[in-house]
Structure 1
Amino acid sequence: MTDTPQNKPAPFHIVFLLFDGITQLDFTGPAQFLARMPGAVVHTAAKALQPIQTDSGFAMLPNTSLADCPQANLLCVPGGFGTRDVMQDAETLQFLRDQADKAQYITSVCTGSLALGAAGLLDGKRATSHWAYTSLLEKLGATYEPARVVKDGNVITAGGVTSGIDFALTIIAEISGQQFAEAVQLGLEYDPHPPFNSGNPSVADPKLVQLLNDRNYGDVLKELQKVIDAS
């Protein structure tokens, strides 16, 4: 980023799309990190200025409507079970297209990549998503790449939920340098040492993977498939 004549960093506008059914950590995780970049201005955009219900039992209040949202330098679409409605909402999809047209970075976390795909923003791109839904990326014009963060040109997609923090650090390093990104990581003490080795289907007990698919993800996958097929 360049500095202004007053030697202050130029504003870097970060726009997060908010919607009912959002997985709040998809948004709050990367937002906590990205907000520490010099010049960062975070905008939380929704269709209306009213509380957005998260999947964690509490609501968040956006600070701008889609209509009044400034142009993003970085556009980010979080995921969540509400992604299905986003993928069918013409106004929101057009907002994503309009923002992406001039954005420096087009990004997503978790199933937010499916919304990017529904808006036609993943055509010919390598991308990722939450592990339970990666099979849908090909139907949206993308090529699935198994990684926590996938960068293809100015399109950067993160895997499920906590991958958003890795994505944020990747962006910070590219814009502000690795040393600054490392300082942010240290300041926020991002030093994960999970108590269990089950954070990805490649290492988790296959029975656990099947259980989650049966209880949580299988029906949603079918619903999302119907949305894509109908589009």
Structure 2
Amino acid sequence: MTHPRRDFLRNLAAASLAGSAAAATSAAEPAASQPEVMHDMSTMPPQWQGKEQIAMLLYPEFTALDLVGPHHMFTSLWGATVHLVAATKEPVRGQNGITFMPSMTLDETPADLDILFVPGGDVGTLKAMQDPKLIAWVADRARRAKLVASVCTGSMILGQAGLLRGKRATSHWATHALLKEFGAIPVDRRVVWDGKLVTGAGVSAGLDLGLAVVAKLRDKTYAQGVQLMAEYAPQPPLHAGTPKTAPPAVHRMMDSMFDTLRAGMRASAKSALGA
């Protein structure tokens, strides 16, 4: 049985070395003399092999795509171990009805992580923000993690854990303004870095965040191979993916749906900051 995602790394490494060698070859030299593409693991650049411990949080009613996009990218990190963690090992139902199986509990999760990742949602996220044990766990693991990441309203959970104070961050457009409530500096970008904190905007931005993390932990060529493997070249049929590009009437209609959620998150932010 073949493993395309594993084989592509071998091929990518060989192609990278072959490309470097070809660039150094004189233009007058026959093409036949260029290096043959090999499939030996020894051709893989040493920086492409890692041993990261990555924990991706699951909680009831989170948005599946917030997690699945970054998960695809993280599992493309050669040598990394990705854990799906939750309060128990019971199945966790996402907001859209997809059920996920945790691989370990919060207590079983390694204390020292390379990446702690938190997805977003709406009512489920607000409930997670109001769970003292979960927030304490996020704060604890984030304190020692080398990289702390979120997508969409997952940044609200990070804020509740006190991890956004004085930090540049982003979130879903509907909760972007609430970042200030947690002491953050809102930035209008798909992916925002501030030290070991990296936050992604709404839902689909998780693909961008995941790919950016891959590039940071490996290198550009490796990340390009991962992007090509995923054929990630978005061409949306509509141009309404941000408040700036959506028709005003559509924006108003969708924005009004978040009034109650924002009120709850704003109240939660006050409790997080001791107000």
Structure 1 residue 55: Cα displacement: 1.1
Q: How does 1:140-151 map to 2 (within 5 A)?
A: 140-151=182-193
Q: Once superposed, which parts of structure 1, at least 4 consecutive aligned residues long, lie more than 6 Å away?
A: none
Which residue of structure 2 aligns with residue 97 of structure 1? 139
Matched, 1:226 2:267: yes
Q: Partners of 1:10 and 1:129 in 2: how far apart? A: 29
Q: Deviation digits for residues 32-74 of structure 1, max 9, x if unmatched? A: 1111011111101111111111111121111110001113200
Q: Partners of 1:228 and 1:212 in 2: how far apart? A: 23
Q: Partners of 1:114 and 1:150 in 2: how far apart? A: 15
Identity of aligned residues (%): 36
Matched, 1:24 2:57: no
Letter of the structure 2 residue corresponding to residue 61 of structure 1: M
5+ residue gaps, structure 1: 1-6
TM (norm. structure 1) is 0.94
Aligned to 2:90, the other structure's residue is in SS state: coil
Letter of the structure 2 residue corresponding to residue 48 of structure 1: T
Structure 1 residue 149: Cα displacement: 0.2
Q: How does 1:190-209 map to 2 (within 5 A)?
A: 190-209=232-251
Matched, 1:136 2:178: yes
Which residue of structure 1 aligns with residue 81 of structure 2? 41
Contact 2:173 2:201 in 1 (8 A): yes
User: How many pairs are equivalent?
Assistant: 224
Q: Partners of 2:53 and 2:247 in 1: how far apart? A: 41
Which residue of structure 2 aligns with residue 169 of structure 1? 211
Contact 2:64 2:98 in 1 (8 A): no
Structure 1 residue 11: Cα displacement: 1.7
Structure 1 residue 10: Cα displacement: 4.0
Greater C-alpha radius of gyration: 2
Aligned to 1:42, the other structure's residue is in SS state: strand
Q: Partners of 2:226 and 2:265 in 1: how far apart? A: 36
Letter of the structure 2 residue corresponding to residue 162 of structure 1: S
- Return the match for 2:92 from 11, 29, 52: 52
Aligned to 1:190, the other structure's residue is in SS state: coil
Q: Partners of 1:10 and 1:184 in 2: how far apart? A: 15
Q: Partners of 1:75 and 1:230 in 2: how far apart? A: 23
5+ residue gaps, structure 2: 1-45
- Give me the CA root mean square deviation: 1.3
Aligned to 1:137, the other structure's residue is in SS state: helix
TM (norm. structure 2) is 0.79
Structure 1 residue 110: Cα displacement: 0.4
Q: Partners of 1:222 and 1:90 in 2: how far apart? A: 19
Matched, 1:76 2:117: yes
Judged with a 3 Å threshold, the aligned counterparts in structure 2 of structure 1 residues 10 and 190 are, in CA distance, closer, same or farther, namely closer
Q: Partners of 1:212 and 1:185 in 2: how far apart? A: 31
